[in-house]
């Protein structure tokens, strides 16, 4: 059932833990969804969290652990013995169990594996740990339902029932050959309507979307989104069925990738959250702030080159923030569109076609903004028309340059195998600030002649 998280509920749980009222705690958590339990635990003291985890059965707490933040889960695991962690992992799907083990110290991981009673489960988990965590192999679960193409419908029913007991949700029934190579999928409707004596080879569907164990997570997400798949089978280099990636795991992956890209775009170099230590947050933010500081020094030096201009036309100085802001904003807008296209594989046309489109867009926006700027400078600020024209031409040039930088940098980084999300935020803003100031005063010098 859904539960409303409030201060009274948190206090009630804390009091029950203090009183060691185990039966009341079990009754309280009995009908609550594991995701809601995780949310409750997030607001409890660490001592109480550990107590509740140890009290609830492993079947329930295994699901709760996967709903917690990585840092909160790490603190809980530190207070559990290797045997207790093993009992939790025993109840998890292989992909979730592999994620938990990957977070543990190597020595503790080995102890936990030694306590696993199910050797096949342990072997499957160890296999998943070999793959990159952001690949299809690292995202897949070993639990699935598969049948041999040479079996009859009657002969495969018991086999499917046995496999289905280990699967939380059966999205598809996969068909393999004698070498375990993926051949297709079986429709539940066809299975139910087929004659008992019919062979699987006569009724299965040969068309099936799949990915390789080494396929990157972003590509897996793109394929699942394109074909509206709830699950997709994963094969190895020989075409053998290794596992499947389900939609719930892919949603978690997309969420983590979006958060990481957002932090990169904001100039945060490590995966951190608000609950991390001051040192961790500083270490994540400082590199890009240092870059911005260096960029600021360069901007100051560029301004120093045009001191005669500011003496002759002091009003130009007051337009510097406007020019810098427009350069940064346009650059971020252009790079954001390119990043979206790269992520969705929807970036159409050649690089030149992309640039020409950005140039036309920049010229249109630039001319509209330039007209507004001239009108504001002359009629509102009462400045000379020549000054307004100078700033307007500079604005068009800056917008044009910033859009080209914002378009080119992400594409170049992507081709070099570098995450293009780094191109947004401080990087684009700082580079465009410098270029904007340089362009502004160069055009002013050309028009005003100082």
- The answer to whether the CB of 108 falls within 8 A of the CB of 82 is yes
Pair 376, 429 in one domain: yes
Residues shown for the chain: 450
Pair 57, 176 in one domain: no
Pair 72, 196 in one domain: no
The reply to whether 162 falls in a domain is: yes
**Given a cut of 60, is residue 172 above it in pLDDT?**
yes
Spatial CB neighbours of 160, under 8 Å, sequence gap ≥ 6:
145, 147, 173
The reply to whether 272 falls in a domain is: no
pTM: 0.70
Pair 248, 336 in one domain: no
Pair 215, 323 in one domain: no
Q: What digits encode the pLDDT tens for the residues 7-19?
A: 888 888 899 889 9
Query: What is the percent of the chain where pLDDT is above 90?
Result: 28
The reply to whether 270 falls in a domain is: no
Pair 240, 354 in one domain: no
pLDDT grade for 241, boundaries at 50, 70 and 90:
very high
**What domain range is 204 assigned to?**
145-254
The pLDDT score that the predictor gives to residue 245 is: 95
Q: What digits encode the pLDDT tens for the residues 379-431?
A: 888 888 988 899 999 999 999 998 888 888 888 877 877 777 666 666 777 78
Pair 284, 428 in one domain: yes
> Which residue, 70, 98, 131, sits at the end of a domain?
131
Please tell me the least confidently modeled range out of 105-114, 295-304, 314-323, 382-391.
295-304
**Given a cut of 90, is residue 174 above it in pLDDT?**
yes
Q: Return the top range by mean pLDDT from 122-126, 275-279, 418-422.
A: 122-126
Pair 301, 444 in one domain: yes
Strand partners, 231: 246
Indicate the SS3 state at residue 50: helix
Higher pLDDT, 284 or 43: 43
What are the contacts of 153-159 at 24+ separation with CB within 8 A?
A: 153/191, 153/194, 153/195, 153/196, 153/197, 153/198, 153/199, 153/200, 153/203, 154/196, 154/197, 156/200
**Given a cut of 90, is residue 256 above it in pLDDT?**
no
Pair 154, 121 in one domain: no
Pair 302, 383 in one domain: yes
The reply to whether 15 falls in a domain is: yes
**Given a cut of 70, is residue 264 above it in pLDDT?**
no
Relative to beta strand 211-212, strand 182-186 is unpaired
Averaged pLDDT score across all residues of the chain: 84
The reply to whether 268 falls in a domain is: no
CATH of the domain at 353: 1.10.357.20
Q: What digits encode the pLDDT tens for the residues 183-204?
A: 999 887 777 788 878 888 888 9
The reply to whether 267 falls in a domain is: no
Pair 152, 244 in one domain: yes
First to last CA, the chain: 75
The reply to whether 138 falls in a domain is: no
The reply to whether 140 falls in a domain is: no
């Amino acid at each position: 059932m859904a539960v409303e998280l409030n201060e009274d509920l948190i206090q009630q749980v804390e009091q029950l833990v203090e009183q060691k009222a185990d039966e009341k705690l079990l009754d309280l958590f009995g009908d609550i969804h594991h995701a809601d339990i995780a949310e409750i635990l997030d607001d409890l003291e660490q001592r109480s969290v550990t107590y509740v985890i140890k009290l609830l059965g492993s079947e329930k707490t295994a699901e709760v652990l996967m709903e917690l933040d990585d840092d909160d889960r790490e603190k809980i695991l530190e207070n559990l013995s290797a045997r207790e962690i093993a009992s939790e992992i025993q109840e998890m799907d292989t992909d979730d169990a592999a994620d938990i083990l990957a977070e543990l110290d190597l020595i503790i991981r080995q102890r936990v594996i030694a306590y696993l009673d199910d050797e096949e489960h342990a072997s499957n988990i160890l296999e998943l740990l070999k793959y990159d965590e952001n690949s299809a192999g690292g995202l897949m679960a070993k639990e699935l339902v598969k049948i041999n193409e040479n079996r009859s419908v009657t002969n495969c029913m018991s086999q499917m029932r046995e496999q289905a007991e280990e699967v939380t949700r059966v999205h598809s029934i996969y068909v393999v050959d004698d070498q375990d190579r993926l051949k297709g999928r079986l429709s539940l409707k066809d299975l139910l309507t087929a004659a008992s004596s019919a062979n699987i080879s006569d009724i299965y569907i040969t068309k099936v979307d799949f990915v390789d164990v080494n396929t990157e997570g972003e590509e897996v997400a793109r394929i699942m989104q394109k074909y509206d798949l709830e699950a997709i089978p994963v094969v190895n280099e020989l075409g053998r069925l290794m596992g499947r990636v389900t939609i719930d795991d892919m949603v978690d992956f997309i969420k983590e990738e979006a958060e990481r890209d957002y932090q990169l775009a904001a100039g945060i170099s490590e995966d951190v959250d608000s609950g991390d230590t001051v040192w961790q947050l500083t270490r994540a933010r400082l590199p890009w702030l240092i870059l911005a500081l260096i960029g600021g020094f360069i901007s100051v030096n560029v301004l120093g080159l045009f001191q005669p201009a500011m003496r002759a036309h002091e009003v130009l100085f007051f337009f510097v923030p406007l020019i810098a802001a427009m350069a940064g904003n346009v650059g971020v807008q252009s790079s954001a569109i390119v990043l979206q296209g790269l992520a969705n594989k929807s970036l159409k046309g050649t690089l030149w076609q992309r640039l020409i489109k950005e140039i036309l867009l920049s010229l249109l926006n630039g001319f509209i903004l330039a007209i507004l700027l001239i009108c504001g400078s002359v009629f509102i600020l009462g400045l000379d028309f020549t000054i307004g024209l100078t700033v307007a031409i500079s604005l068009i040039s800056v917008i044009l340059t910033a859009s080209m930088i914002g378009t080119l940098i992400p594409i170049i980084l992507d081709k070099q195998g570098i995450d293009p999300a780094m191109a947004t935020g401080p990087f684009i803003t700082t580079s465009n600030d410098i270029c904007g100031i340089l362009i502004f005063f160069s055009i002013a010098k050309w028009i005003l002649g100082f």
